[in-house]
Every structure is written in C-alpha cells, then in structure tokens.
Amino acid sequence: MRYMTAGESHGKGLSVIIEGVPSGLTIDFEQIQREMKRRQGGYGRGRRMQIEQDAVDVRGGIRHGYTTGAPISLFIENKDHTHWTQVMQAEPLEEELERPRTLTRPRPGHADLVGGLKYGHRDLRDVLERSSARETAARVAVGAIAKQLLAQLGVDIFSHVRSIGGVDAARVNPMEYRETIETSLVRCADEVASEKMMRAIDQAKQDGDTLGGEIEAVVTGLVPGIGSFTQNETKLDSRIARAVISVNAMKAVGFGDGFDLARRKGSTVQDEILHDETGYYRKTNHLGGIEGGMSTGMPIRVQVAMKPIPTLYRPLQSVDIETKEPFVAQIERSDACAVPAASVVIEAVVAFEVAASILEMFGSSTLDRLKDSVAAYKEEVRLF
C-alpha cells in the first residue's frame, strides 16, 4: 500500500492517490471529515483554519460506500485559493505583468533558500507553496482511511501532547485519559499543564514568537511480528521514524522511553518475557512495543519533537537573493503553535505505516481474506 500527494498551499487544492487498499472496506465518510476537523483544531492556530473547510471529495476507488481495490483518489479544495488565483495560476502570465507576491527573502527554518538553490527558483514562492504544512491535510485524509482499515483488525491509534514551550505534562498512561485528551484544546491529558500551555501560547503570540513541543502516538491491538529484522527498510520502527520525521517541523523521534533509555543500565530497560493462556507478553514496555524492527504485541509508543514554527511575526534576519542585501525575512500568515494539530498528523502517518506493514505481511486483495489471515496468525502465535 502506498500513496502520493500533489498540490500547493494556495493552489486549487490537494490531490491524493492511495494504492493497495483491499476491496470490501466500508468507508465512513463522516469519520474522514471528523479527522480533518481534528487537524484544523487546537489552541494557537492561525486565521487560515477559519477559511478552510477541508472537505474531502472522493473521485475514485470507492463505490456505494465500499473500496473496490482500485486506486483511491481524493481531492481537498483550498478555499483560500480565491484570494490567490492570479498568483497561483498554471497558465503563463501576460508578458507585461510581473509575478505577483514574488518571494526573494528566504525565511530561516523553512525550505525557501535551500529549495531555491536546488531547483533554480528565483521566486522562492515556488518552494514555499509545496513545502508548506498545508500538505499535511492530504496525509490526514490518507490516515483516516488507514485507521478505518486498522479498526477492522482490532488495531487502535491515538496521540496526545506531552509538552509545549517547555511546559511538561505529568507522565500518565494516556490510554486512560482518551476523553480528556480529545476535549483538550492542546490535546493534553494533564488539565493543569494544559492551562499553562495555553498561557505560554498566548504569551508567544503576543511576543510575535512561536512554540514547539513533544507529541506521543500510541498503537494498541497489534499482533507480534509486524515489520521485519531482515532489511533496514522493512523494520517497523525505521518505517515509522521516516514517516514522522517527514512531517513538517519534526526534528527528533523516539520509541518507548526514548532518549531516557540512553541514560540507564541495560538491566532496567529490557522488557522481560512472560507467558499465560493468551500467549507471550512483556512485563514492561520500555522499548515501546518494537524489538528487532518488529512489533511485540505490546502498545507501540512513538514520541516526536516538533520545533517552533519558523514563520514569525517578529521575523529574523535574512538576505535578499536578488540584491544580496540583508533584510528581515518575509512574513507569511502563520500559527503561534501547531503542536496539537501536528499530533493528529502524526497519528495519520503512523496509522498508514502500520497498515501498510500489515498488508505486506498478510498480503490480501480483499478485507475478508485479510481478516481471516490475521485471525489465523493470532491463534498460531498464541499456541507457539
């Protein structure tokens, strides 16, 4: 199973093609829209989310509510495109017209300058538009379908925010606080920390600054053995790590107890193996549900660190690529903090990688065959 996205931040919209989804999966369209709405929410979001509706238009691969096995085509319209029609038009401009809203002052922390160097763009908007986090709306749509497939196999995934701007939430079992997390404006299980996070976001916005934070995604219900130890690209943790780091502004990833593992002795971090009538299980879950590149059956725990958004209303110094003179970087509309929204995106990309790894292991063209294969494997593992 694979997917590809296309489209720009202020273009007509975002297109997605997903290939390899089994036939016979009932699609809940309202659930897809709920996922899109979750991404638009979160404390600290900018005005763009007041403009967009992020309605997903299915253009192929789903008929009468079911997947057909054919590639699924989705389109998400950019409502804000109406303000950028000439700026983003595909047709050539009239000869006497200059390019509108040309960007020649690259913003530190963005792809602007490096992308311009690589692709030879003198108007850095040609980089900005595609490298924008707007693209993540398409990935949430993909993840919404992947999550529906996983649900048919008894696999659940959710995320929560562990810190924003240096404000840390109390370390609790997030699975026990799902309702609190979903109703929190910052997607945090700790209500006291949530208030402090929102105050920190307010202060950053007042200062013309931005904040980053830490996100954790948790996958439950996964059978042991998903992934592989035989090649680096088939290891489940390497696939997940690649996917989450590919999300805009993500700078570090950890599994289980993450970076804390490096500070402890081996005897305190390995997960001892036990057995009962249900099969093998681990006494602890310090390694986050993955050993040797494969799922252990314990919950998979993935932490991701998000840097502060680099678009600042108090912009940093840059250099104009035409004049080579120093200037402050150009300002584009931005959020003060997008960590809560990013947690939904992390959910989506992790869901897709887990679903793709399951299909690689059990390879099936129909949902019924897939479910039968997984059920048979569960019994085989229990009796091993």
207: number of Cβ within 10 Å: 12
Q: 73 near 59, Cβ under 8 Å?
A: yes
**Inter-axis angle of helices 339-362 and 136-152, to 10 degrees?**
50
Distance CA 340, CA 213 (A): 9
Which residues are 177's β-sheet partners?
none
DSSP assigned state of 35: H
- Is 311 annotated in a binding site? The answer is yes
Q: CB neighbours of 323 closer than 8 A, spacing ≥ 6?
A: none
- Is 122 annotated in a binding site? The answer is no
Q: Which of 381, 334, 372, 384 is nearest to 24 (CA)?
A: 372
- Is 204 annotated in a binding site? The answer is no
Phi and psi angles of residue 3, each rounded to the nearest 5 degrees, phi first:
-150, 160
- Is 308 annotated in a binding site? The answer is yes
- Is 346 annotated in a binding site? The answer is no
Query: Whole-angstrom distance between the N-terminal and C-terminal Cα of the chain?
Result: 29
Q: Which of 32, 73, 36 is nearest to 53 (CA)?
A: 36
- Is 115 annotated in a binding site? The answer is no
At position 66, the amino acid (one-letter code) is Y
- Is 249 annotated in a binding site? The answer is yes
- Is 292 annotated in a binding site? The answer is yes
- Is 73 annotated in a binding site? The answer is no
Distance CA 275, CA 50 (A): 52
- Is 78 annotated in a binding site? The answer is no
- Is 310 annotated in a binding site? The answer is yes
Phi-psi region of 232 (alpha: psi -120 to 50; beta: other; left: phi over 0): alpha
- Is 147 annotated in a binding site? The answer is no
Distance CA 59, CA 159 (A): 29
Transcribe 287-348 into DSSP letters.
Answer: TTTEETTEE-SSPEEEEEEEPPPS--SSPPEEE-TTT--EEEPPP----SB-HHHHHHHHHH
Strands (DSSP E) contained in 69-196 are 72-77, 156-164, 167-168
Distance CA 132, CA 112 (A): 10
Which residues are documented as binding site? Answer: 39, 45, 130-132, 248-249, 292, 307-311, 333
Which residues are documented as binding site for NADP(+)? Answer: 39, 45
Which residues are documented as binding site for FMN? Answer: 130-132, 248-249, 292, 307-311, 333
